[in-house]
Structure 1
């Protein structure tokens, strides 16, 4: 693999969006999301973390007590971040199942015990003119951090979104405008920049 500095990407900015699960899924990284997708605004300086927690059981052979195989028994994908814009949609996301309502000229959130609130999510990640989009068709807030009210610090809503399989059995889809995503892949180009030629099996 050649050393190509332009293929080192940085998540300079972006935004997390959510929508009802029946909302049409995005099909690329660059098309603007329709109005049904709610943007959740600023995230804390820690950004958004994509995590994969795999549980693996080692299978040990009788002979020599040697590990001969590993069986993956569980695989959990999550997105986590702290939302720092104090807006109604963020409060509703943090308090699953609770809804914001008008209260005269003000607003009120009647907080209930957390209920199931599955949604679809999109995370846009931007590095200059390169765009990456992560689409989660079936996700839900499953963990919440503490809310701290403190002078000098933004009020933040820390959420962890667990990704469940969607109708196609996928946990997420990832799109990118970066040409490097096609490098070293059949139909892309090899390390010398020559096009790959597909070879059919006999």
Structure 2
């Protein structure tokens, strides 16, 4: 019997420490309406068009994300569940601001119209009333350990709850807030980007070989659940890439004209029943066609 291989990888373990060099780890701003300015990765420079400003220190409890998904079971005459429908979905964030003299934080907690600056910033007047709080955006930069970085973006949130505020000698003044997340123009409430240094490229690269000598017909390619149909028997890699991206796999890259190297992919499958001529079977292998 062959020896078993330990499939666990500690580089897939991530911690949630703040990246304090990235504006203290947390930034806030106006609601984001232009998705074109969203970050491309956890390490990319944040577009100034997003208008984000530092919110400073938060407590050691960090940030807690809560997702509530309600479902409804549809049953048939016999009482058997035949379908499960999503009936409600919500996402919220909870954190505690520590910089109670940070004007950006105060305007988030009390509303922009209720925080008035005077005397060159030396004086701040805060009013508290029942007016609805303004919507904002919030971004967190996180060091995941071992070269990993995480960026979390909520493009449109509103403070729905502020915890008790204490003025005591033994501690700083803090604002514990709950932020309700609202969908952007694409219907998404939260985004996460994860960058890693320690990755085996072969984990996300596949070599695809079609049956040898096919003279006509078409084939279908499925990558991570997205399917491009009606590919020509001799399709160029650029064409295959274009078609699979049109199908929804936006970041997949395809090199070669057969065999093909497919990168930024985990699951790759092929249907060659409509190919004519040729011999052998299609093969999908881990790794690259260029060796």
Q: When the two structures are superposed, what TM-score results if normalisation uses the length of structure 1? A: 0.81
**After superposition, what is the alpha-carbon deviation per residue over 1:91-150, rounded to whole angstroms, capped at 9, x for unaligned?**
111113434323334221233423241222211111233111111222222222121222
* Structure with greater helix percent: 2
The residue number in structure 1 matching 2:144 is: 127
1:48-67 alignment runs, 5 A limit? 48-63=63-78, 65-67=79-81
- Pair member with larger Rg: 2
Cα deviation, residue 17, structure 1:
1.3
Q: Specify whether residues 196 and 37 from structure 1 end up closer, same or farther in structure 2 by C-alpha distance, changes over 3 A only.
A: closer
Indicate the SS of the match to 1:94: helix
> 1:34 Cα deviation (Å)?
5.0
Unpaired runs of 5+ in structure 1? Answer: 189-194
Cα 1:71–1:141, aligned 2, differ >3 Å: closer, same or farther?
A: same
1:98–1:111: 8 Å Cα contact kept in structure 2? no
TM-score, normalisation: structure 2: 0.58
Q: Label 1:108 to 1:133 Cα distance change in 2 as closer, same or farther (>3 A).
A: same
Matched with 1:151 is 169
Mapped partners of 1:150, 1:73: distance in 2: 44
**Matched position secondary structure for 2:150:** strand
Number of residue pairs aligned between Structure 1 and Structure 2? 194
Out of 94, 113, 117, which is 2:109 matched to?
94
Residue segments in structure 2 that go unaligned for 5+ positions in a row:
1-5, 20-24, 205-222, 225-251, 254-264, 273-291
SS of alignment partner, residue 199 of structure 1 = strand
Tell me the secondary structure at the aligned position of residue 269 of structure 2: coil
- How well do the aligned residues superpose, as a CA RMSD in angstroms? 2.8
Aligned counterpart in structure 1 of residue 130 of structure 2, from 85, 102, 113: 113
Contact 2:38 2:47 in 1 (8 A): no
Q: What are the equivalent positions in structure 2 for 1:31-50 lying under 5 Å apart?
A: 31-33=44-46, 36-50=51-65
Provide closer, same or farther for how the CA distance between residues 53 and 110 of structure 1 changes in structure 2, counting only shifts above 3 A. same
